[in-house]
Amino acid sequence: MTDTTLPQYEAIKTTLSTSSLAVTPAEMHGLLAGMMCGGLDSEQGTWVPMLYDFTNDGMAWPTNAMLIATNSMSIIKGELLSDELSFSLLLPDEDGDLIDRADALSEWVSSFMAGIGLMNIKQADLDSDIKEALGDLTEIAQLGVDEDDDMEEQSILFEQVIEHVRVCAMTIHAVLGKRQPPEQNKTLH
């Protein structure tokens, strides 16, 4: 696992907002995690233009925001490759409003799915475990918190959903994150 940690959610939110970026920390983190889980080789740097295209109409991010994205990518990679199963989602603090946290989880999952989509994965090539994980994530992206229900009970259920999202992401990475890029036609002279 990496020793680098992300700043708090609210600090990242402030940096992204003051950088005039219309992306939340959950969306940024989910998108980057989705690309990594979908097989992105982060060392090639191809994720940067995809991040710009998806979040800022192709325009570069200001330095402070880009530093957070770069650190996020490094942390995501370290967590996903760790044997400690330490992958975590970037969401508002646990003591925050449950509805805000649920909204952020929905944003994270939707962006995660978009990140996987950017990796041009063919649905027909996926095994049943990956299809099931993607199906679960699609449903989770649409979940919300009912303000009329017992909030304590919903909080417990919400933590279980977060854990399921973590497991889905790690499952997807275990299969798709390790796939090799297509072989280039090489001509020997």
Q: What is the pLDDT of residues 119-160, one digit of tens each?
A: 988 888 889 999 999 999 999 998 877 777 777 888 889 999
pLDDT digits over 44-100, tens only? 888 999 999 999 999 999 999 999 999 999 999 999 998 888 899 999 988 878 889
Separation of alpha carbons 114 and 132, rounded Å: 17
pLDDT computed for residue 168 by the predictor: 96
For the chain, domains (ranges, CATH) are 9-176 (1.20.120.740)
pLDDT computed for residue 26 by the predictor: 97
Q: What is the pTM of this model?
A: 0.89
- Mean pLDDT comparison of 88-97, 158-167, 175-184, highest-scoring range: 158-167
CA 174 to chain centre: 15
- Name the more confident of 31 and 178: 31
pLDDT computed for residue 1 by the predictor: 44
pLDDT computed for residue 13 by the predictor: 96
pLDDT computed for residue 2 by the predictor: 46
Q: Which of 16-20, 35-39, 69-73, 91-95 has the lowest mean pLDDT?
A: 91-95
pLDDT computed for residue 144 by the predictor: 77
